[in-house]
Amino acid sequence: MKNIALKIMYDGTNYHGWQFQKNGITVQERIEAVLSGLLEEKISVCGCSRTDAGVHALEFVLNFKSETTIPLERLPYAINTHLGDDDISVIAAREVSDDFNARFSAKGKCYEYRIWNSNIQNPFEAKYSWHVPYKLDVEEMKKAAEKFCGTHDFSAFMAAGGSQKTTVRTVHFCRVLWDEKEPHKIKIEIGANAFLYNMVRIIAGTLVEVGTGRKTAEEIEKIISDCDRRGAGQTAPPEGLFLKEVFYDQNVLEW
């Protein structure tokens, strides 16, 4: 029995998120159906994260056990052919040790949140960013972003319904990126050892409130330490969120 890891990317627009559910088609369901057909055995996959409906992945890692003898370098092409559509793509496959688990072996993740900051709506950005029509103060947002770095109790930045033992997380970096060549695009990049439910979207919503002047960069520390969800900003919409990278120890998984 092999343990196989896949690196995939997907446009989440037409999916009810990653994880199997009754009420809509999910990425997990599509991958399991194709793998089960292709490998002629019942395949259950384990994903690195449970992305919400409409959220995208530039890199998503999953693993599954299989008896297959298909050479792994051929697997991405074979799966992509069977998927037969354009919104999920398998990029690479690797054999991993028996105890590898895409979710629990991950040492951290990086997310990107995209904002389209213009009074003009852009059809090419609509499914891949949050349209914020009022001018944002990027410099103030940059200052605020730094305050999220470090180890904190992030319970003010967690949606109700999370059920983890601890709400302490370590944010390795939180940056606001803006380039004068594309002045309407603002990106937020956040890397952490792990994330609470909706944490990135609530941080993004809070940073936008800093950008509009409703909150200041100086208030962020208090919002974090108050541990009160009502102190933080709104939950930014899912279409702007991209899982960008999943980190594993090099001896565990290297692409």
| Degrees to nearest 5, angle at CA 101 with 96 and 102 | 95
Q: Which string of b and e fits 142-157 if b means at least 16 CB within 10 Å? A: bbbbebbbeebebbbb
Choose between 84 and 161: whose C-beta lies nearer to its own copies.
Answer: 84
Q: Which one of the spans 44-52, 125-133, 200-208, 218-226 is the region binding its own copies (CB under 8 A)? A: 125-133
Binding to its own copies by residue 70, rule CB under 8 A? no
Residue 36 found at the interface with its own copies (CB under 8 A): no
134 makes contact with its own copies (CB under 8 A): no
Among 80, 167, 170, 212, binds its own copies (CB under 8 A): 80
CB of 61 to its own copies, least distance (A): 15
Closer residue to its own copies in complex, CB, 91/194:
91
Of the candidate residues 121, 216, 225, 234, the single one contacting its own copies (CB under 8 A):
121
Q: Are residues 167 and 153 in contact, defined by beta-carbon separation less than 8 angstroms?
A: yes
CB atoms within 10 A of CB 252: 14
Q: Are 76 and 93 in contact (CB under 8 A)?
A: yes
> What is d(CA 95, CA 191) in angstroms, rounded to the nearest whole number?
26
- Give the CA distances from residue 88 to residues 10, 78, 82, 155, 157, in Å, rounded to whole numbers and listed in that order: 4, 13, 11, 33, 30
Q: Residue 52 catalytic?
A: yes
Choose between 93 and 196: whose C-beta lies nearer to its own copies.
93
Listed residue (148, 127, 234) closest to 190, CA to CA? 148
Give the other-Cβ count within 10 Å of 68's Cβ.
Answer: 18
Binding span for its own copies by CB under 8 A among 9-17, 139-147, 190-198, 209-217? 9-17
Interface residue with its own copies, options 71, 84, 123, 161 (CB under 8 A): 123
Nearer to its own copies, 59 or 140 (CB): 59
Residues assigned a catalytic role: 52
Contacting positions for its own copies (CB under 8 A): 9-11, 56, 58, 76, 80, 86-89, 91, 120-124, 126-128
